Amino acid sequence: MAEVATRAIGAPVRRIEGRAKVTGAARYAVEHDPGEVAYGWIVQAQVARGKITDIDDAEARSQPGVLHVLWHGNAPRLEEVSDAELAVFQEPRVAYRGQIVAAVVADNPEAAREAARLVRVKVHEEPHDVGLRADHPHLYKPDKVNPSFPSDTDKGDVDAALARAEVTIDHTYSTPAYHNNAMEPHATLARWDGDRLTVYDSNQGAAAHRAPLAKAFGLEPEQVRVLAEHVGGGFGSKGTPRPQMIVAAMLARISGRAVKLPVTRQQMFAFTGYRTPTIQRMRLGATGDGRITAIEHRVFEQTSQIREFAEQAATPTRVMYATDNLRTSHRLVRLDVPTPSWMRAPGECPGMYALESAIDELALAVGIDPIELRIRNDADAEPDSGKPFSSRNLVACLREGADRFGWADRDPRQRQRDGRWFIGSGVAASTYPAYQRDAEATARVQPDGSFRVGIAAADIGTGARTALTQIAADTLGVPVERVRVDIGDSALPRAGVAGGSMGTSSWGAAVAKACEALLAEMERGGSEAHADTKAEIEAKKDLARHAFGAQFAEVRVDGETGEIRVSRLLGVFAAGRIVNPVTARSQFIGGMTMGMGMALFEESVMDRRYGDYLNHDLAQYHVPANADVADIEVAWIEEDDPELNRIGTKGIGEIGIVGTAAAIANAVHHATGLRFRALPIHLDGLVGAGT
């Protein structure tokens, strides 16, 4: 059936849904019209720890248009759920400031918001603790870190190797809490039809959200349908169900109407997830010529009182550099804070900031170019496990990036000036696992000769719908215009979340297999086929599968004011087969821009007195704007890795952020001679750098 000379995979295809989005035809969660609708509004706890003694909702209920006020005293009982954040209104305990303690449903959003303001919540306040520190008396070792890695690893004799090392590095690096701020806030529209529940929700996987929702309400999964056709960003925070989905379903059942419940930007800083702050101690030992003999990476982080989440910040150190002596550990403390969760490149992002900053310090200490030091310590096999890599092209990325960036012309001396500006450049490596999960897909030929593919995948703005269309068209041998891919519906064949940079690899393999099966079925006169990739994934060789990259930054620092300008960013990546160069470039640039925000702008500031984040909106939580990003260049290494999956892809959504912050911090050090081991790099630390 091969009808197209040019293959769809690798072609710069425009986004399939692009026109619908820019014309407003694309409908997001609460934009759907279910008929008669009511509106919900959330009431949040105003203390960080305590017990609710009473809720006075009389005045709120008396307001025009108000249908009901829901709280733990009158809420329906839920079934036991594994995520305690979803056990909304089940008990009077307050576990953190901003936790949902009541909700209002009304005829219109204005009435719901006003009534929520009038709900009086009385709480017996208790002393709270919201401060992470490396010597906290209640630190403990979690059984595992996200998603299922061992908390600690220990190979060789790290202490002895450090004692013998000619050169040692021993520094502590820290990152603050970061909050996801997707363009579309979390939002849910819920509707009951008898004992069947339909939910339109802004999430990263409709199928993955159906089972927890069904369990909470004591339903069979077949009684619940979750739709997320268009999603305005997620970055991890929409990867698991959030409590507003439960609240919306409760309000819909009580009111007898469909209920729209959008989460405000301010509320997103409480119960929709964030990246834990980290404290990371790095100890490196090396020979005089820069051969690393020992690495120790110790991580301290926080979780909530109601659910454990341990970010895997030390795991990338288990992957990166060859050494016979390697020790990593994670320690966690339960605080009176919201539960942390996934944020773009969880683990690798903060962990590689510490590692790549320490590597830069080691290069300076031994007097070796930082690129050469990384190449000298490249690993033939995964250092921690000893597994062979399916492919590892870190060195190729470093060399290609050095050539593109003009690294050979870099003066290694610090504090080079251009008038009042200091100029510096830095480099850092990147890595991210090449995950794949099993999935199912269907494919059928239509009476008009077009094709329709179905899979419960999610497009959160990454271009997944377009990539899957290209994979299907390529497999079928037809133009992309003849293929339609249906996604974002839990009624479609099973698929995992858009997370872990595994979407295209997981869903694409299922789509390709279904299309191959359809071609065989058509030869027999059939018109539809189904595929499941579980067996082939279970049969894969036990290899270390990772994407790698190298990121370069050039900065200009005003010697008088301390102002930092990032004049150039370059990322070169080895991430398997690139399905669509247009959307891939967008993903890499997006990740690098977020990494820049991590280095220079982003920081969730905790008020320890009240247990609340002070800067809970985009007026105070600063992210990069167009003017902050002068020049970003992206390139990739052509990589053929047959051990990955049937389409040869790795993930690209997250690796772009991983090394960027370290590259910028290393560039600032090169420019000024000042080393910043805590992010973000504040202006006050650079004021007067020229004196």
List, by residue number, the catalytic residues: 654
Distance between terminal CA atoms of the chain?
71
Instruction: Give start and end residues of each alpha helix (H) in 336-391.
Output: 348-366, 370-376
In 3D, which of 101, 17, 81, 433 has the Cα closest to residue 240?
81
In 3D, which of 476, 533, 446 has the Cα closest to residue 8?
476
- E strands within 358-517? 416-418, 421-433, 440-445, 451-454, 483-486
Cα dihedral 358→359→360→361 (10° resolution): 50
In 3D, which of 148, 141, 116, 144 has the Cα closest to residue 46?
116
Instruction: Give start and end residues of each alpha helix (H) in 17-141.
Output: 18-23, 58-61, 109-118
Query: Reduced to 3 states, what is the DSSP secondary structure of residue 650?
Result: coil
CB 339 within 8 A of CB 304: yes
CA distance 624 to 600: 9
CA distance 645 to 203: 26
Residue 500 backbone class (left: φ over 0; alpha: ψ -120 to 50; beta: rest): left
Residue with tokens 């990036």: 401
Count of alpha carbons within 13 angstroms of residue 411, beta-carbon side: 9
Query: What DSSP character marks residue 195?
Result: T
Could you check whether the bond before residue 433 is cis, i.e. omega within 30 degrees of 0? no
Residue 93, classified by CB atoms within 10 Å of its CB into exposed (0-12), middle (13-18) or buried (19+), is middle
In 3D, which of 435, 490, 535 has the Cα closest to residue 147?
435
In 3D, which of 173, 236, 226 has the Cα closest to residue 204?
236
CA distance 463 to 18: 9
Query: What DSSP character marks residue 129?
Result: -
Query: Reduced to 3 states, what is the DSSP secondary structure of residue 551?
Result: strand
CA distance 492 to 441: 8
CB 85 within 8 A of CB 339: yes
Buried residues in 622-638 as b, exposed as e (16+ CB within 10 A): eebeeebeeebbbbbbe
Q: What is the DSSP annotation of 216-277?
A: HTT--GGGEEEE-SS----TTTTSS--HHHHHHHHHHHHHSSEEEEEPPTTTHHHHS--BPP
Token pair, residue 288, equals 């005089």
User: What are the contacts of 480-486 at 24+ separation with CB within 8 A?
Assistant: 480/8, 480/13, 480/16, 482/449, 482/450, 482/451, 483/450, 483/451, 483/452, 483/453, 484/450, 484/451, 484/452, 484/453, 485/16, 485/452, 485/453, 485/454, 485/455, 485/511, 486/452, 486/453, 486/454, 486/455
